[in-house]
Structure 1
C-alpha cells in the first residue's frame, strides 16, 4: 500500500542527519522508568533521568521525532501564551512568578543542550519578533515586552519602520523583539537528544507502539504491540498531539490541531537579504497566527493553521503559498518544494497540563505550539520530580484529567473558527 499523502517527507526529514539506531523492543524485561513517546519531552526526560543514574526506557510508536517534535517550524520561543502578570494573577505571587521564570528559561534549555552535547543541529539564536497587525496588537506587544524586560529578558519594542526592516515586509504596524528566541532544525534536535540520552545510559525503542498499561501493587506492566512487556514502578506518558486511547479520557483533554507548513526552494542571495536579514524568527499577534523564518538552506518557511483533517492534496497548503506572496511581494512566483504538517496539542486554558491519575503514572500534555523549549525544559523538571519526589520540582500543579465536554464536536468548532478568522483576522488570507 502506498504511503499516505500526509507522510510525504518534510523539509526536516530531507535535511537532517540520520538518527541513532532505536530497534523495536522484542524481549520483555524491567526498567526503572518507562517513557511513552519519543518526542522532545520524552527524550529530554530520558536524558535527564539517565544523567541522574536512573535507567529509563523510551518506547516510541514510530521513530524518534516522528510526531510534532520533528514536524514543527523549528522556532524556539520562550514564554507561554500568558504574560508574567497573567500567570501571577492566575496562580498567585509565588507559583506564578516561578512559572514565569520557568517559561522564560525554556529557550536557554534548548541551546544549552545543543552546546553541552555537541549536537549536530543547525541552529541560530538571533531572537524572535512578534509583529502586530492592529492597534490592539501594538498595545499587546508593548505590554509583553515591558513585563519580560522586568524579569531581565533582552527585549525591545519596534516601530513600524524597524519592524519592516527586520522582517522584510510592510504588513505590520510594529512589534517587539525578544532576544532569547531562535531557530533550530527540529528533527536534527530530536535525534540529537536521542543520541545524548543513549550515551547517558537510556534505552530507546522505535516502532514499538504501547497497547496497554496495567498496575498490580506498585508495579506497572507496559504492554507493546509486539507482545514484549516491561515492568516498572514509574511510567511517564508524553504523547501530546498524537495521544490515543492508552489512558482513559486523556485524548479528550486536548484539541490536536494540525499545523501546516510550506518551504520555498532555496532563495537567491539578494532575496535572502531582503527577508529577516538579521536571522530572527517570527510569528504574529493574529488569533490564527502566521509564523515564518529562513532555514539553514536559505528557504523561507511559512506556517499556520490548515484543515483539521489530514491533508489530501497540495491544495490544502495553497493558502500559505498565497500568504507568502502577499507578505513578501518580492517572492512572487517563487516555487515551493516542501509541504508538511504536524499535530499540536492545545488545552482549553492554553497551558501545559500535568496529571498523576494513579501512583507511579505521570502525564504531560499540551505543548501549545511552543513545544521546542517548553517540552525540553518540562522533561528536565519531570526527571527531577521522579528522582526527588518533590512536587515543587514541577512548574505546574498536578491536576485531575478533565475531558472537554462534547469533545467530538470540537473539531467542527475549530474548523469553523479557522474559517471565520481567515475572513476577519487582518485581511491577509
Structure 2
C-alpha cells in the first residue's frame, strides 16, 4: 500500500468487513466503480437497486481511506460555502447541488435504515456554535440562506447553546436537525455487505493503475486484471494519486491530501457525561482550526486537531487537545486518549468540491474539504442516476473541468503551514 496509517478507534471496535477477492483476470460488466469508500459504495448500491450489473475495484479494503478514518460527523453543508455562493458559482446546476447537499444527511440515515446497516447511527442533529460574538452574523446568514431552501435549521442564542453543549465557551450559533454521527468504518463495511447482497462484485487489494476509454468502453487496469464497462465512476478522492500516478493525474493534482488527526478519550463516567452535549448532537464550530466533538457509542468523546510541523504529531497533539477539552468543559477534569489516528482529506484552494464528466458515461469527484460523510453518500445516488441516463439538467452535479494546482508537490509540503493563518484569523473578530 502507498500509506500505512495508525489504527483507529473505529478499527478497534468494529466487526470485520466481508471477505473479498482480488481482481484476477478480465471482467466485463455494465458499470465499474473505482474506490470502495462512501461514494463508490453508495454508487454501486444505488446502481444495483436499479438492476444495473456493477463491479467495484478497491485498492485496499472498504473504508480503508478517508471513509473509515474520519470523525463520523454527518453534516449536510460544505465547510465554507453556503447556498448563495454555490448558486452564484454554478447557476441552475448549483441550485440542484444545494438540494442534494440539503438532503444529504437524511439520504445517509435513510440508507442505513433501509438496509438495516449496523453503523452506530444517531440522527441527533448537528450544532455549529460560534467562537466569538461577531460570528453570530455568520450563523444568522447561514440560517437565513439554508432556511430559504427548506433546510431544518434554527438560530440558537448563547444561553441555549450553553445548555445544549454544557459549556460557556461559545456565543450562540445554529443547528441542523437532520445531521448526526455514525461509526464511519462500520458504515463502510455495512454498505459493502449491502452492495454484495444486492448482487454487485467488490474486488479488494486491487489498486487501479490506469483508466482509459477505448472502443466505446471504459477499461480499468490493475496489476492482475482488467474491468471493462460501459460506465465508470472514479471515487478515489484524496487517494487518487497515492497508488498510481497514472490513474487520473489531473484530478490527483487538483486536491491537496492533508492529514486530519482524530482522537478518542477514554470512556467518560456517566455523572460527567450527562453534562456534556446531553442531546448527543455532532458539533463543529466556526474556528478555521476547527474545534469538533461528538460522543461515540461507548461513552468516549471523539475529537481531533492539527499541528503545523509534521514531527511527532500524535505525541504533541495529546496534551494540546486535552487542554482544549478541559478549557471547553472544565467538568471533565483530567483527560487522556485511548486512540489517536490520522488519514487524508482532500482540500481544494477555494474549498469547493470538484465534480467531473470524464467522457461518455464517465464521472468523478474530489475535494471533500472535510465535509464528505453525508455528501459522499448523496453523490453516490446522483452518479447512479447519471449512469442510468438521467439528463444532466436534472442532476445535482455541477460539472467542471479538472483544474490541477500549479506546483502541486510544493503545495502539498506547505499546506500544513496554513494552520498558522487559520489561527491568526480565529483570533480576529468579524
TM-score over 0.5 for the pair: yes
Runs of 4+ in 1 over 6 A off after TM superposition: none
- Superposed CA deviations along residues 356-415 of structure 1, whole A, max 9, x for unmatched, are 233343211121211111010100000100111522343233221110122222234422
TM-score (norm 1): 0.93
Residues 8-39 of structure 1 deviation map (CA, whole Å, 9 limit, x = unaligned):
32011111122112221123221211111110
Q: Using the alignment, how far apart are the partners of 1:425 and 1:24 within structure 2?
A: 47
Partner-residue secondary structure (3-state), 2:212: strand
Counterparts in 2 of 1:89-108, with a 5 A limit? 89-92=88-91, 94-108=92-106
- Classify 1:6/1:168 alpha carbon distance in 2 versus 1 (closer, same or farther; 3 Å): farther
Counterpart for residue 82 of structure 2: 83
Could you tell me how far 1:51 is from its partner in structure 2? 1.0
Counterpart contact for 2:288–2:425, Cα < 8 Å: no
Cα shift at 1:6: 5.7
SS at match of 2:209: strand
1:96 CA drift (Å): 3.5
SS of 1:197's equivalent in the other structure is helix
Q: Is the contact between residue 72 and residue 186 of structure 1 (CA under 8 Å) also seen in structure 2?
A: yes
Alignment-derived partner of residue 360 in structure 2: 359
Tell me if 1:144 matches 2:145: no
When residues 155 and 355 of structure 1 are mapped into structure 2, their CA distance, relative to the original with a 3 A threshold, is closer
Instruction: From 165, 168, 185, give the equivalent of 2:166.
Output: 168
- Give matches, 1:273-288, under 5 Å: 273-288=274-289
* Paired residues of 2:307 and 2:313 also in contact (CA < 8 A): no
Distance in 1 between residues matched to 2:358 and 2:240, nearest whole Å: 16
Task: State the partner residue of 2:232.
Answer: 235
**Residue aligning to 2:179:** 181
Cα 1:249–1:95 change in 2 (3 A) is closer
1:235 and 1:213 map into 2 onto residues whose CA distance is 9
1:70 CA drift (Å): 0.3
**Which deviations, in whole Å up to 9, do the C-alpha atoms of 1:305-330 show, x marking residues without a partner?**
34585966533554323322222222
- Matching of residues 29-428 of structure 1 within 5 Å: 29-80=27-78, 81-92=80-91, 94-225=92-223, 227-244=224-241, 245=245, 246-307=247-308, 313-422=314-423, 425-426=426-427
Give the length in aligned residue pairs. Answer: 423
Q: CA RMSD in A?
A: 2.1
CA distance in 2, matches of 1:98, 1:30: 33
SS at match of 1:253: coil
Q: Secondary structure at the match of 1:274?
A: coil
312 and 169 in structure 1: CA distance in 2 versus 1, 3 angstrom threshold: closer
Query: Cα gap change, 1:200/1:344 in structure 2, threshold over 3 Å: closer, same or farther?
Result: same
CA contact (8 A) 2:180 2:282 kept: yes
CA drift of 1:179 comes to 0.8
- My pick for the range that moved more, 102-111 or 22-31, is 22-31
Superposition pairs for residues 2-17 of structure 1, below 5 Å? 7-17=5-15
Which runs of no fewer than 5 residues in structure 2 stay unpaired? none
- What secondary structure does 1:34 align onto? strand
Distance change >3 Å, CA 82–CA 6, structure 1 → 2: same
In the alignment, the residues of structure 2 paired with residue 26 and residue 255 of structure 1 have an alpha-carbon distance, to the nearest angstrom, of 32
Where structure 1 has 5 or more consecutive residues not aligned to the other structure, the ranges are none
Distance (whole Å) between structure 1 residues aligned to residue 254 and residue 326 of structure 2: 37
Matches of 1:329 and 1:127 in 2, distance apart? 24
Instruction: Decide whether aligned partners of structure 1 residues 148 and 182 sit closer, same or farther in structure 2, where only a CA change above 3 A counts.
Output: same
Cα distance change on mapping 1:424 and 1:145 into 2, 3 Å: closer
Q: 1:399–1:298: structure 2 CA closer, same or farther, 3 Å change rule? A: same
Shift of 1:91: 2.9
Superposed CA deviations along residues 67-96 of structure 1, whole A, max 9, x for unmatched, are: 00001111101122322222233333x434
The alignment partner of 2:117 has SS state of: coil
